[in-house]
Amino acid sequence: MVDIQTILFGADPTEGIVAVEAGEREAIVYIRKGSRVYQKRELFTPWMLVLRSEDTPSEGSVTELNGQGYRFLVTFPTWSSFTAAHNTLRAKGIDHLSYPVAEKQFLLMSGKTLFKGLTFDDVHRMQIDIETTSLSSGGESDRILLIAISDNRGYEQILEGEEPEMLSSLVSVIRERDPDVLEGHNFFGFDLPFIAARAKRHGISLAFGRDGSELTFGTRRNCPIGGYSKPFIPPHVHGRHVIDTLLAVQRFDVAQGRLERYGLKDSAQAFGLSEPDRVLIAGDEIAELWKCDSETVKRYAFQDVRETQKLAALVCQSEFYLTQMVPDTYQSVASTGTGEKINSILIREYLRQGHAIPTSQPPRSVPGGYTELRISGVVRKVVKCDVESLYPSLMLSQRIKPSSDVLDIFLPALAELTRRRVEAKRRVKQSNGTEKAYWDGLQSSFKILINSFYGYLGAPFNFNDYDAAERVTTSGQEIVRRIASAIENKGGRVIEIDTDGVYFQCPAGVDTEEAEMAFVEEIGNTLPAGINLVHDGRYAAMISLKIKNYILVGYDGRKVFRGAAVRSRADEPFGRKFISDAVDFLLTDDKQGIRKLYRNLMRRIENGEMPVAEFARRERVTEKTFRSSQKKRAAEVAKGVPVGDYITVYEKNNGQLGLIEEYAGDEDRAYLLDKLYKFACRLREAFGDEFDSLFPRPGRSKQDQGQIKLDLFD
């Protein structure tokens, strides 16, 4: 019988573990009991897996596991001997499975996980923020002005004075308060490197570790954030986790899509976390203000750490609760992808049962979800129905799992996560305050894993299975086509089909929300067992343009933009506003208003009346920015900007890019006129034959002259 608790949370039930540090032969386990943390030392045996017994390194002892794949478990007497063997196998190109992080090895083999029995509030979290004279840490005049500290136990402190004394006091506060987690916004990119540089200059030992060891930095890694990865250099503090809320909020916003900027103040304001009397000071004004009004700067810094604490409580809880399941540290869980999390859970259970780990299948393409646009233009009274967790539901109802999962733990794990999420969501509705936050964080962590089980099948992990992934997508295509047919057979009009949902108009007589829900339920009753169709929204209008590109208008007037054709974070603000305003006129059939809106914008551009903030666009700097010959203009203005960060640029009339802060009335107005026309073209399907008369193309654009501008950023 499958022990689902063991599969999901590991075999070791020890509660209160807040950190693990593994060394040569032993691991130190830090366990929290209320306000105290004590140590427990345990034997640590490094290990790896190889495919053939003859590949076993001479320093290791081998145990043969059941099954096929990586079936020879090799253990080593010390971490040093493992590292030497690992490097030798890599140099020889010998296939093996190993983890170069000692803590992960220990957690995988021991069955322990962190934070069992603890809530997010139970863990001691400390926030740190510095104010400095400049962004550079190496100059004679560069220094830290103050260090602001807070924690979730009510402690707040400003450290000021001479820089060496401040740094020594910071060490003392961390050692005395003994937090489990250190948090900061842009912590990895600015605060910690700046603190380390200044400490080195003064000969101060940053002994932040629970064992008295110093803050150190590892090798560069990539943090997956949606469709791209942001490089960072991970810090290490013995016995503590270090969390950068800048990375956390970017990961959190992948699904939310609410933020245009990820700075602390912007994020806090967008999520409603700012204090009513929030002090705002431009970065280049802090040093001067410190000289004449230090109290205002202190208040500003206190609000920084308070916002960091609130932001972490919002965006980090799901990763925290995932750490109760995943055999890894909280700091690592917060910066790795979900596929690796599932892989670790599966490998842990297979090793516990003494079974070999399969090799991953070579990659191949898998068909995607079914999409189809059937009606474009303005459509009134629209309903969306959606299959709840379509792919996980298909996997469970049709028993679709990896062929290599011979121990049959993949589907039971998915089923239990689904059950627990349903229960946690129920508890969210019944709770308030901290209890509500606990259940919401828990259900979010379950959701993250559940939604990754399908993606795991078609990715380069040990238990992947491309045939199974294809069966999921083709079954999903069949389901949504079936839903669309049922809607049309009952007199409805299908507007768009997209993977797991359908936008449609109800048949005549179905006018109220209750009637719509009953209609959706009727359609759902025609679907196979285990597939649950729900009413997922109702809208006064839908402006359908292209597949996956549309605008929804609620009965309250609120507009929702979907797809890059109608709203992109890389669009100039004037274009986004133009589309939003044009939609308002479109809904009231005010052709004169639309014509006037377009021509007024043309006039403002031609006369140079548009402020730079309206036509500057925000772009992300990538590694390609500095490598591609097509991005020379971008590289010029992005010098010194870290990869993954953003700059705000505009098109200059000399063919170059300019930074918004260096604007000198030199915008390329021909480019902006052409761009306005292109924004209008995004709505062409909504206006049909009237488009050309409403939106005349400006005079010859640079593109017409053959001077095609290349996309400069990813």
Q: How far is the C-alpha of 230 from the C-alpha of 44, rounded, in Å?
A: 33
Per-residue confidence at 46, pLDDT binned at 50, 70, 90?
A: very high
Lowest mean pLDDT among 194-198, 333-337, 635-639: 635-639
- Asked if residue 225 and residue 148 are part of one domain, the reply reads yes
CATH number of the domain within which 655 lies: 1.10.132.60
| Predicted pLDDT at 450 | 92
- Asked if residue 385 and residue 293 are part of one domain, the reply reads no
Q: Is the pLDDT of residue 704 over 50?
A: no
Query: Which of 73, 91, 118 delimits the end of a domain?
Result: 118
Per-residue confidence at 706, pLDDT binned at 50, 70, 90?
A: very low
Q: How far is the C-alpha of 372 from the C-alpha of 16, rounded, in Å?
A: 50
| Predicted pLDDT at 710 | 35
| Predicted pLDDT at 457 | 97
Percent residues over pLDDT 90 in the chain:
82
The pairing of beta strand 156-160 with beta strand 144-151: antiparallel
Domain extent, residue 157, equals 125-315
String of DSSP letters for 502-566:
EEEEPPTT--SHHHHHHHHHHHHTTSPTT--EEEEEEEEEEEEEETTEEEEE-TTS-EEEESTTT
| Predicted pLDDT at 641 | 82
CATH number of the domain within which 528 lies: 3.90.1600.10
- Asked if residue 263 and residue 396 are part of one domain, the reply reads no
Tokens of 531: 């597939």
The torsion angle over the Cα atoms of residues 111, 312, 21 and 187, rounded to 10 degrees, is: 150
3 part of a folded domain: no
Q: What is the mean pLDDT of residues 542-565?
A: 91
How does DSSP classify residue 90? Answer: H
Q: Is the pLDDT of residue 562 over 60?
A: yes
Percent residues over pLDDT 70 in the chain:
97
**Average pLDDT for the chain:** 92
| Predicted pLDDT at 205 | 97
- Asked if residue 84 and residue 31 are part of one domain, the reply reads yes
- Asked if residue 392 and residue 478 are part of one domain, the reply reads yes
Q: What is the mean pLDDT of residues 488-506?
A: 96
Q: What is the mean pLDDT of residues 585-595?
A: 92
Q: What is the mean pLDDT of residues 531-540?
A: 95
3-state DSSP assignment of residue 161? coil
Quick check: 327 and 342 in contact, CB under 8 A? no
- Asked if residue 579 and residue 501 are part of one domain, the reply reads no
Q: Is the pLDDT of residue 711 over 50?
A: no
Lowest mean pLDDT among 158-162, 560-564, 705-709: 705-709
Q: Is the pLDDT of residue 563 over 90?
A: no
CATH number of the domain within which 170 lies: 3.30.420.10
- Beta strands in 14-93, from DSSP E residues, in sequence order: 17-22, 26-33, 36-43, 47-50, 61-64, 72-75
Q: What is the mean pLDDT of residues 123-150?
A: 93
The residue assigned the tokens 């075999």 is 11
321 part of a folded domain: no
Quick check: 474 and 452 in contact, CB under 8 A? no
Query: Which of 61, 95, 118 delimits the end of a domain?
Result: 118
- Asked if residue 235 and residue 87 are part of one domain, the reply reads no
Tokens of 77: 């007497």
- Asked if residue 300 and residue 267 are part of one domain, the reply reads yes
Q: What is the mean pLDDT of residues 498-519?
A: 95
Q: What is the pLDDT of residues 416-465, one digit of tens each?
A: 999 999 999 899 999 888 788 888 888 888 988 998 999 999 999 999 99
Quick check: 29 and 17 in contact, CB under 8 A? yes
Tokens of 539: 């809208």
> In sequence order, which residues have a C-beta less than 8 Å from that of residue 395 and are 6 or more positions away?
401, 411, 414, 453, 454, 472
414 Cα distance to chain centroid: 22
Per-residue confidence at 646, pLDDT binned at 50, 70, 90?
A: confident
Q: Is the pLDDT of residue 500 over 50?
A: yes
Q: What is the mean pLDDT of residues 58-65?
A: 94
Q: Is the pLDDT of residue 624 over 90?
A: no
Neighbours of 322 (CB within 10 A): 25
Quick check: 361 and 466 in contact, CB under 8 A? yes
The pairing of beta strand 181-184 with beta strand 125-132: parallel
Q: Is the pLDDT of residue 325 over 90?
A: yes
Host H or E run for residue 648: strand 646-651
> In sequence order, which residues have a C-beta less than 8 Å from that of residue 482 and are 6 or more positions away?
526, 527
**Of 643 and 388, the one with more pLDDT:** 388
Q: Is the pLDDT of residue 132 over 70?
A: yes
Per-residue confidence at 259, pLDDT binned at 50, 70, 90?
A: confident
> In sequence order, which residues have a C-beta less than 8 Å from that of residue 9 and are 6 or more positions away?
113, 116, 324, 325
Q: What is the mean pLDDT of residues 638-652?
A: 85
- Asked if residue 512 and residue 391 are part of one domain, the reply reads yes
Per-residue confidence at 712, pLDDT binned at 50, 70, 90?
A: very low
- Beta strands in 256-376, from DSSP E residues, in sequence order: 371-373
Q: What is the mean pLDDT of residues 638-646?
A: 80
- Asked if residue 132 and residue 107 are part of one domain, the reply reads no
Q: How far is the C-alpha of 365 from the C-alpha of 244, rounded, in Å?
A: 35
- Asked if residue 576 and residue 514 are part of one domain, the reply reads no
| Predicted pLDDT at 705 | 38
Sign of CA dihedral 581, 582, 585, 587: negative
Per-residue confidence at 621, pLDDT binned at 50, 70, 90?
A: confident
Per-residue buried b or exposed e for 63-78, using 16+ beta carbons within 10 Å of the residue's own CB: eebebebbbbbbbbee
Quick check: 164 and 202 in contact, CB under 8 A? yes
Q: How far is the C-alpha of 453 from the C-alpha of 381, rounded, in Å?
A: 35
Q: Is the pLDDT of residue 379 over 70?
A: yes
Count how many domains the chain has: 4
| Predicted pLDDT at 1 | 58
Count of helices and strands (H, E) across the chain: 26, 26
- Asked if residue 183 and residue 284 are part of one domain, the reply reads yes
